[in-house]
Structure 1
Amino acid sequence: MHNLFFYGKFNSNFNDLHHSALSPWGAGIILAPVVGGVIVVWLVRNFAPEAKGHGVPEVMDAIYYRAGIIRPVVVLVKALASAITIGSGGSVGREGPIIQIGAAFGSSLAQWIRLPEWQRLGLIAAGAGAGIAATFNTPVGGVLFAVELMLVEISARTLVPVMIATGTATLISRLLLGDYPSFIIPPDIIAHTAHMGTVNYLLFAILGILVGAVGLFFTRMLYWTEDFLEKWLPHPYLRAVLGMAAVGATIYLLGLSTGQYYVEGVGYATVQDVLNSTLLNPAFLLLLVLLKILSFSVTLGAGGSGGVFSPSLYVGALLGGAFVLLANLLFPSLQLHLATGAALG
């Protein structure tokens, strides 16, 4: 979808840790998120309203209030809607969608073979955890995610199926996508962090407080934007056009001024830039944090379909990087590594 909307090509080659080239459309790229947004609103309104948004709340709602019943059509609509939103330039992640897709697949399978409710709920957790495991190459992380958010009962009869599913999903993902981590962290960080003093850890505690505060702002901004757009632009298609036009204008202006779109899509390339220590201006990093929060909130508020996890990784990494750069200016003797701050953030 990204290659189609940005370059007019039917091509599945894409490396999310590298910035893609600027689109030949020029200012016309502003319309790419608009077209994508309108298609997504049409898909969601006509086929699966529960596919709107980032997906995890809808899965939890199905678990706790709908006996684990998720309609099979959600699998297809969520996959299409999220791919179009992200590919056309929407500033959202892919993790929320894969959680909902995996959960919907688990629920559909359980309904098809008529399993009892407790097994259906277990398969939902297994599908969601497997999705996280596959997209991040993290089998243990998938299990922990399912335990924390999805499982209503933690026992051998529920945990073992989740572990089997996440391990299998990781294996399939490695066969198809390769066995490599989501982000490449420079190996010298490990040696560097082994020799830190007390002051360093005090600074990291301050970083935690700052990231927590920005996380609160991140959450409140999303809810405020959704409420604001729904109140002042009640027509869903008008909301999609104006909201996604604002997102398109943001990525176009960034591309025009910096040569990279930075806030479009999942944003992993920008996170990797900070880990590679190639973005060294703290003011610019803080500007990107603000623009990411705004463009992400508007994308979902305008009716887009995508996750919150990638944007939160983006915001945390860039905020951590900016914090380290400013700390090194104030305390040059510390010589904190930029990638350390990004990883912690």
Structure 2
Amino acid sequence: MSSAPPGSSSLPPATGTPRQPGVRPTLALLALLVGIIAGIGAAVFRGLIGLFHNLFFFGHFAIEYDTLKHTLESPWGIGVVAVPVIGALLVAFLVQTFAPEAKGHGVPEVIDAIYYKRGVIRPQVALIKSLASSISIGSGGAIGREGPIIQIGATFGSVLAQWTRLPEWQRLVLIACGAGGGIAATFNTPIGGILFATEIMLVEISARTLIPVMIATGAASFVGRLFFGNHASFIIPPMTLHAATSSSFRVFLAYAMLGLVMGLLGMLYTRSVYAFEDFFDRIPGNYYTRHALGMLIVGVMMYLLMRHLGHYYIEGVGYATIQDILDGHLTVTWILLALVLLKLVAVSLTLGSGASGGIFSPALFMGATLGAGLVNLGHGFLPGLEVSPVGGAVIGMACMVAAGTGAAVTAVVMIFEMTRDYNVIIPLIIAVSLAYAVRHLLIADDLYTLKLSRRGRRLPRAVESNLYLMRGALELIQAPFLRLDADAHLGALRERLTSRRTLPHVVLVRDGQPTGIITSDVLATALAADDDQTALGRYADPHYTLLNEHTQIIDLVSRLRGAGTRIAVLAPGDPPTTAADAVVGIVSWDDVMEHANLPGDLRGAAPS
């Protein structure tokens, strides 16, 4: 430990308790306002959906629309096929003309604004999102209303913060307030709203951020109850999950199997939406023609379902089908399993072709239908199984929300709030955990983050302290690397990689000095695309920063940004030796972002 130089005075020891940042009264009041607006916004948005639904399907103006009851057959007959097409053309006009951010399911745009736009969301997004999503859902699009409500509430929070000139951290808190308030008002799940904001939106977990979110979700729930009543979104019969009190190994095994299968469906759901988006992008034409084509197919599916099964089933939020399952009215196994596939295709067509709506409701729909269907199949193999189809549907809904959105804790608590039955907790924890784990094992991104990953937007995987920034780079990041001659070809590298499970960084060496670095991500592209005779020098980056082997992450980031490079070469000595055989580690910018759990831009321009 170093001592103070002669003649210098030491600081007196600190006395008292350090002042902790608390909740700002102004922020608390604004959070209350955001919660109230989120609750009112949820009610207005539901009214718009009812208005457009009645106008498109029956030709009259009314806002009454009970989503727990099936839509009656439209008087248009086969002409109902054109209803989603007309809605698609209107949506394309609104989105393309006024707010491209309103396209899709909304939540990724909010997350993007939080991490890459300093929480700034344009005010027109709320209006256009309200109109476009209500038209999409009202005209039969197989999507949900929760995503739009989240984006609408978040937009109001951002705009209010901009108007009042709040600092960035408070702006981000109000965005989370709007998002959590939207969920709370929609499902009458205030705790679920808090957890959704915490798991998906908040970049800081502390009293100064959580208390405003709690205020907002409480206010939104209160306002929502004034409009919708004090009941959950679904009427779930009592004692639905009475088997959860059983300690039977077969019961817990059944819940575990249900969670595993739901994880597979969550992966398919995630990939399907963006696979259809890529498919429609490749079709000749423009936004109007592509979206109209996708919704024409959805319209045909709706019409055929009405003709052969008596209901439109896949149109809109699909809550009537879920309620049928919970009431025990929809029990035919093949219909349940067919509806899973049809809803998956319909939501992928709707969102992939360019609609504006959410992914939450379709997840609930598919979770309920598959859960009930699998339990029916289980009874065929194990006649004495103490799990009801209704219980399977309830567990399935939570599993699909967790697997699809990545909000696992939110899913458990929301279903608990809906059922108000403590017996649900154990099966929920088992099934939801496994569903989330399987989906994450098969694809790291969920429906929210995959859209951003496809844009090259890297997001933190957790909310945590800055402890890792103080770790030594080599202590935290142990990326493998190997040295090769600068004149080597890809074939020689392939031979060296046969015994390796992970791709290393490669240091190219000439005359004992590094001439360039090939990072593992560049290497993966090269191995997949080129033949063995390609020179490795083609892929090497000659620009790197030479640092001491004990450099901390925070200093490494600063040096990389200052030098405008993406690669650090670590070696002993001060200054570090330049000899290639002295290199003890290679750290790329992507290594830092992954291991230190940092956003790709660190609130600024990343090295290029």
- Per the normalisation by structure 2, the TM-score is 0.56
Once residues 156 and 265 of structure 1 are traced to their aligned partners in structure 2, the CA distance between those partners, rounded to angstroms, is 39
Provide the residue aligned with 1:43 in structure 2. 94
Residue 70 (structure 1) aligned with residue 121 (structure 2): yes
Aligned residue among 44, 52, 55 for 2:103:
52
Q: Aligned pair 1:19/2:79, yes or no? A: no
Equivalents in 2 of 1:195, 1:149: separation in Å? Answer: 34
Alpha-carbon distance in 1 for matches of 2:368, 2:129:
27
In the superposition, the TM-score normalised over structure 1's length comes to 0.98
Tell me: higher relative CO, structure 1 or 2? Use CA pairs within 8 A at least 6 residues apart.
Answer: 1
Q: How does 1:229-268 map to 2 (within 5 A)?
A: 229-268=280-319
**How far apart, CA to CA, are the structure 1 residues paired with 2:55 and 2:224?**
24
Q: Which runs of no fewer than 5 residues in structure 1 stay unpaired?
A: none
Give, in whole Å, the separation in 1 of the partners of 2:76 and 2:386: 43
Cα offset for 1:195?
Answer: 3.1
Check if 1:151 corresponds to 2:223.
Answer: no
CA distance in 2, matches of 1:273, 1:193: 22
The structure 2 residue matched to 1:280, chosen from 324, 331, 336, is 331
Distance 1:269 1:296 in 2: 16
- Is 1:32 matched up with 2:86? no
Counterpart of 2:149 (choices 94, 98, 101) is 98
2:367 aligns with one of 316, 338, 344? 316
Which of the numbers 165, 170, 174 marks the counterpart of 1:114? 165
1:173: which partner in 2? 224
Counterpart residue number, 1:327: 378
**1-side partners of 2:265 and 2:242: how far apart?**
29
Q: Deviations over 1:280-305 (max 9, x none)?
A: 21111111000100010110111100
- Letter aligned with residue 153 of structure 1: E
More strand by percentage: 2
Cα contact 2:123–2:159 (8 A) shared by 1: yes
Amino acid aligned to 1:145: F
SS of equivalent to 2:265: helix
Greater CA drift, 286-295 or 195-204: 195-204
SS of 1:189's equivalent? coil
2:56 aligns to what? Answer: 5
- How much has 1:335 moved relative to structure 2? 4.5
Q: 1:10 to 1:218 in 2, by over 3 A?
A: same
The runs of 5 or more residues in structure 2 that have no matched partner are: 1-51, 397-608
CA distance in 2, matches of 1:334, 1:64: 47
2 CA distance for matches of 1:130 and 1:250? 34
Task: Give the residue type in structure 2 aligned to 1:113.
Answer: T
Q: Say whether 1:290 aligns with 2:341.
A: yes
Q: How does 1:78-227 map to 2 (within 5 A)?
A: 78-195=129-246, 197-227=248-278
SS of match in other structure, 1:188: coil
The structure-2 alpha-carbon separation of the partners of 1:39 and 1:124, relative to structure 1 and needing over 3 Å to count, comes to same
Q: Distance in 1 between matches of 2:74 and 2:247?
A: 44
Partner Cα separation in structure 1 for residue 263 and residue 322 of structure 2: 19
Measured in 2, the distance between the counterparts of 1:280 and 1:136 equals 25
What is the aligned residue count? 345
**DSSP 3-state at the match of 2:240:** helix
Q: In structure 2, what is the Cα distance between the partners aligned to 1:124 and 1:336?
A: 40
Which AA in structure 1 matches 2:354? G
SS in 1 for 2:266: helix
Deviation at 1:275, TM superposition (A): 1.1
Moved more, 298-307 or 187-196: 187-196
How far residue 26 of structure 1 moved from its aligned partner, in angstroms, is 0.6
Preserved contact between residue 243 and residue 251 of structure 2 (Cα < 8 Å): no
1:68-101 C-alpha deviation (Å, 9 max, x unpaired): 0000000100000000000000000001101100
Distance (whole Å) between structure 1 residues aligned to residue 312 and residue 92 of structure 2: 24
Q: Indicate the structure with greater helix content.
A: 1
Distance in structure 2 (CA, Å) of the matches to 1:344 and 1:285 = 15
Query: Is the partner of 1:226 in helix, strand or coil?
Result: helix
Shift of 1:234: 4.2
Determine the C-alpha separation between the residues in 2 that align with 1:316 and 1:269. 14
